[in-house]
Chains A and B, each alone.
Chain A
Amino acid sequence: MTSMYLQICGRLTAEIVLAVVALAVLVLDLILARRTVTMSARMQMVACVAGFGLIAAMIVLVLGWDQEPVVLLGGTLVMDQLTILFKFVVAGLSLLTVVISIRYDVGRHVGEYFAMLLFGTIGMMLLVGAEELIMIFVALELTSISLYVLTAFNKASPALARNSGEAAIKYFMFGGISSAFLLFGLSYVYGLTGVTSLDDLSRIISQPGAVHASPMLAAGMLFVIVGFGFKVAVVPFHLWAPDAYEGAPTPVTALIATGSKVASFFVLLKLMLVSFGGMAGSAFWGHFASGWTMLLAVVATASMVLGNFAAIAQHNVKRLLAYSSIAHAGYILVGLVAATKMGATSVLFYLIVYALANLGAFGVLAALSGRAGGEDMANFNGMARRAPFMSLLMLVFLLSLAGIPPLGGFLGKFYLFAAAVQRDPQQFGLLWLVIIGLLTSAVSLYYYLIVLKHFYVEKPVDASRIETPVYLNVALALVAAGVIALGLFPQALLALLDNLVGNL
């Protein structure tokens, strides 16, 4: 028993470090609150501790890279290079969230804010490593509950606070229902198969026989997809997203749109490809057969079309990015529907590229919106002259999201769609999804350019310069460099992912 715990301590050091730091942050803030320190100094000190905690966790992850893969706690958690890589990505995204939070007004409860952020990160990291239904559910809840709380932290003005509270309640209600769906679905799956580990599940489901054909299992799978559909915000389970994105403090929006999505998609990928691999069905044009690929193909189509067209009508940049991330979830599902190794690689690559660009875009918004007076597009008029560097970064991030070469988003999209075509190179059964994806991404260029038009073309109302702190410039410039590097030199990451996915 002791040795098992020692092993867990050894291999989950990163999560443990974060848990300790999260508690330390709470205590530190308690001490600081009693002293007469200014709010911004308190914010900086607490953020510093949280940030270094995340850096420490990332270092621990890197140090564990070469260790043998292990399965902990009887098959509930795995630690292999793929999970380490994605834990690293999630921790990195949280670190950037911390960086863009420093100057953001989150009210008096600074310690709680950063502690919740760290708890949420732990949830995401556990989610990445989870290989068992209960663990998946627990990790997902840890993530979600932290994010519900974080959503309500926007306290800069009474109006914002009201919106933020409303957003949090809405997010919580939808999230709660989705968890119920997920748990209900998982209970069916468990009831029929008697196992909860993903590997065992895969073995039982892929055997032809009574279980395989059971309509109860199909119902269970359907509920699981509905539950995850809410978490990753795809049509028709997306209704919470625009309001939650708009109401939440911008750094939190960034984390909801990137970190939590990366982790959820990662586990959805595992769940679908590994466990439900035997129930894929077919999404080929003209040869539809019931199964999760067909379901997800429909969901992907709806997300790409509705996400992109609804984004056109938005005036608030955060809402626009919310709809755009619904559309991006649709693109990612196209790679998942391919249900091949290349598909899995492309999904993982796109997740990283998408997360970097989206986080960068929200980072720029967080840096500018305070001085600009809000997140309405009109507030950003003439930003190219007021904050030229931030505008340039926004250009890079939005064009990457639109899929313009030579940025990472272009290659990511190319790889996703290539994977979908590769699934059936004789009859091109999935080409219809690719066509919808490409035509709707032409639509997406329209609204990204509208945003950039406000940054670059419109005349500023107020010509004063907006200075941004150096650390923020550096952090966001690094993200932009990452987006560009992934577009120009994707080979290293692609080869690594391709290699690691082989073990999935």
Chain B
Amino acid sequence: MYTDWTIYLTFAGAGLIMLLPREAKTAICWTALLTGMAGLAVALWGYFTYNSGMNELIRTRGTGLIDLADVPWIPALGIHYHLAVDGINFPLVVLNGFVCVTGILFSWNIEERTKEFFAFFLILIAGVYGVFMAMDLFLLLVFYELAIVPKYFIIAIWGSTRKEYGAMKLVMYSFIGSAVVFIAILVTYFASPAHSFDLFALRSQPIAYNVQVWVFPLMFAGFAVLAGMWPFHTWAPTGHVAAPTAGSMLLAGVVMKLGAYGCLRAAMFLFPQGMEHWRWVIAWLAVVGIVYGAGVALVQKDFKFIIGYSSVSHMGFVLLGLATLNVIGMSGAVLQMFSHGIIASLLFAVVGRMVYDRTHTRQLDELGGLAKAIPFACVTFVIAGVASMGMPGFSGFWAEFQVLIGAFKMNPWLAVGAAVSIAITAAYILNTIHKVFFAEEEQAHAGSGESRWQLPPISLPEKIASVILLALLVIIGFYPSIMLDMIKANVELFPGITK
């Protein structure tokens, strides 16, 4: 299993791009694409190898974890360079690979400062791979913060609509979040008798209840900022809107998952009693976020803001699933991270790359009738949209359905609250589809019948990338066990989980 090579390959790709002359745009794009594909191939190969040997592994060793690297890094503080994979982070590693490759394909038209764009892009991707595989709190924080700065430049240089404001807001929120996590990590280290930053060493010697109760919310909230938990979500819509297409894809696709993953892997893993103590607060905040995000999305006039707020809503499902502390809810949460990563990437690709780059507007009132001008975008958006509504047959269904069952087990009112949002989601998605792709067509029908849009056709890289992401939605939708079995088997081993 060489899944840790995803990190090194991606860093190497970024380094190689920095060495290329800036005029060689084609070479830069191809280097980035090949790097992304190499990372994805390594991740996928590892994924299927792991999947086939997992049951055997869990039966013999009682854990689903496979170490990739574990060497002392800073022995003075008990810091290890510890990377490992299991069924919880593997889907996310693979997700990152897919978002990376498709993000590069959707950025094929970047003409301005191509070299720097792909260098920052790959550094961010490498950092994300690192966070997903790090099993040492310090190492996790290192990768987590490493991923912050490239986001600033990607948004501030290549973004649109108040890009500098959006970029700075995003960076400040994430950095303050990570400062809070930093505090929690220091306290954890000194409160634990283990004298190590290694998650499993820390876990093996439980931390006192009175410490757990106040450190857990610090660490959870610090990570949850990046997961877009209400009321810390306000960076997300502005950041998504300001970012260039690949930037929004990364933000919604993987960066928000970093936060949720941190909550799960670090906060919930280390502080089961703290989680027990705070789970109701988290669950209700999640429900508020779900309904609030969907409600705000309903009244937006800007196409991209709709998707931005819908991300807040869907990430609420992840947090709700985590708070249920039962196998079905948590498996749903992990699957939702993957599923929403794909759906959000697809939606942002349609909004940013296919529509905005061609029409130069995102106002619902100004758009309309695009179905005829760019039918491919319409089809993609409709499929991704219905997947986002939780339609059976797509990955979103399995994820949100399981979260709802889990929430129902915890408290039926939670499930009712969250279920309301599914209706609202259907409303804003259908409304958007209508306004953007069809609305004017009806009026035009009376007149000439010609579409007023004269748009360049959808290019090949866009089509390839969309097909890859759409295929994933359908594959997981029809054959969820390819991912769900792995997640379930590992979630069952998570400490403090009920059936």
Contact = CB atoms under 8 A, between A and B. Distances in A.
Given A417-B186, A421-B190, A446-B172, A457 B164 contact: yes
A159 B345 CA distance: 55
B499 to A, nearest CB: 37
A54 interface: no
A404 B148 contact: yes
Contacts of A428: 187, 190
Contacts of A411: 74
Interface in A403-436: 404-406, 410-411, 414-415, 417-418, 421-422, 425, 428, 431, 434-435
Contacts of B76: 491, 494-495, 498
A418 B172 contact: no
Contacts of A494: 74, 76
Contact of A405 (B116, B142, B157): B142
Contact of A490 (B74, B187, B189): B74
B186 A418 contact: yes
Nearest to B192: A425
B189 A418 contact: yes
Contact of A449 (B152, B183, B190): B152
Contacts of B180: 438
A491 B75 contact: yes
17 contacts: A404-B145, A405-B141, A405-B142, A410-B142, A418-B186, A421-B190, A425-B190, A428-B190, A434-B183, A442-B176, A442-B179, A445-B172, A457-B153, A457-B156, A491-B74, A491-B76, A494-B74
Interface of B: 73-77, 116, 138, 141-143, 145-146, 148-149, 152-153, 156-157, 164, 168, 171-172, 175-176, 179-180, 182-183, 186-187, 189-191
A445 B176 CA distance: 10
A434 B190 CA distance: 14
A405 B191 contact: no
Contact of B182 (A406, A438, A495): A438
Contact of B186 (A399, A434, A453): A434
Contacts of B116: 384, 456
A438 B183 contact: yes
A453 B152 CA distance: 9
Interface in A283-326: none
A416 B246 CA distance: 37
A156 interface: no
Interface in A466-504: 490-491, 494-495, 498
A250 interface: no
A439 interface: yes
Contacts of A414: 138, 182
A453 B187 CA distance: 34
Contact of B149 (A404, A417, A491): A404
A406 B172 contact: no
Contacts of B179: 438-439, 441-442
A62 to B, nearest CB: 24
Q: Which A-B residue pairs are the 6 nearest by beta carbons? A: A425-B190, A405-B142, A438-B179, A421-B186, A442-B176, A457-B156
Nearest to B179: A438
B187 A431 contact: yes
Contacts of A404: 145-146, 148-149
Given A404-B149, A415-B77, A498-B76, 20 more contacts: A384-B116, A404-B146, A405-B141, A405-B143, A405-B145, A411-B74, A421-B186, A421-B187, A425-B191, A431-B183, A439-B176, A439-B179, A445-B175, A449-B168, A457-B156, A490-B74, A491-B74, A491-B75, A491-B76, A494-B76
Given A421-B190, A456-B153, A410 B183 contact: no
A449 B156 CA distance: 11
A411 B175 CA distance: 16
A501 to B, nearest CB: 12
A422 B190 contact: yes
Interface majority SS (helix, strand, loop, mixed), chain B? helix
Contacts of A425: 190-191
Contacts of A417: 182, 186
A495 B77 CA distance: 11
A344 to B, nearest CB: 14
A417 B183 CA distance: 9
Contact of B142 (A406, A431, A434): A406
B331 to A, nearest CB: 32
A415 B164 CA distance: 32
Contacts of B149: 399, 404, 449
Contacts of A439: 176, 179
A491 B81 CA distance: 13
Contacts of A453: 156, 164
B236 to A, nearest CB: 18
A494 to B, nearest CB: 5
B157 to A, nearest CB: 5
Nearest to A384: B116
Contacts of B148: 404
Given A406-B146, A428-B187, A491 B175 contact: no
A422 B145 CA distance: 23
A373 to B, nearest CB: 23
A456 to B, nearest CB: 6
Nearest to B181: A438
Contacts of A435: 183
Interface in A134-165: none
A422 B192 CA distance: 12
B195 to A, nearest CB: 10
A129 to B, nearest CB: 27
A242 to B, nearest CB: 24
Interface in A19-70: none
A457 B154 CA distance: 10
A410 B175 CA distance: 13
A490 B156 CA distance: 32
Interface string A386-402: 00000000000001000
A471 B157 CA distance: 31
Nearest to A411: B74
A456 B146 contact: no
B468 to A, nearest CB: 32
Contacts of A490: 74
Contacts of A449: 149, 152, 168, 171
A422 B78 CA distance: 14
A441 B175 CA distance: 9
Contacts of A495: 76
A206 B74 CA distance: 35
Nearest to A488: B73
A404 B182 CA distance: 12
A425 B190 CA distance: 6
A446 B74 contact: no
A201 B138 CA distance: 41
B221 to A, nearest CB: 14
A457 B153 CA distance: 7
Nearest to B163: A457
Contacts of A421: 186-187, 189-190
A124 B426 CA distance: 71
A167 to B, nearest CB: 32
B55 to A, nearest CB: 37
A442 B143 CA distance: 17
A404 to B, nearest CB: 6
A410 B182 CA distance: 11
Given A418-B186, A434-B186, A457 B74 contact: no
Interface string A172-198: 000000000000000000000000000
Given A428-B187, A431-B183, A434-B183, A442 B175 contact: yes
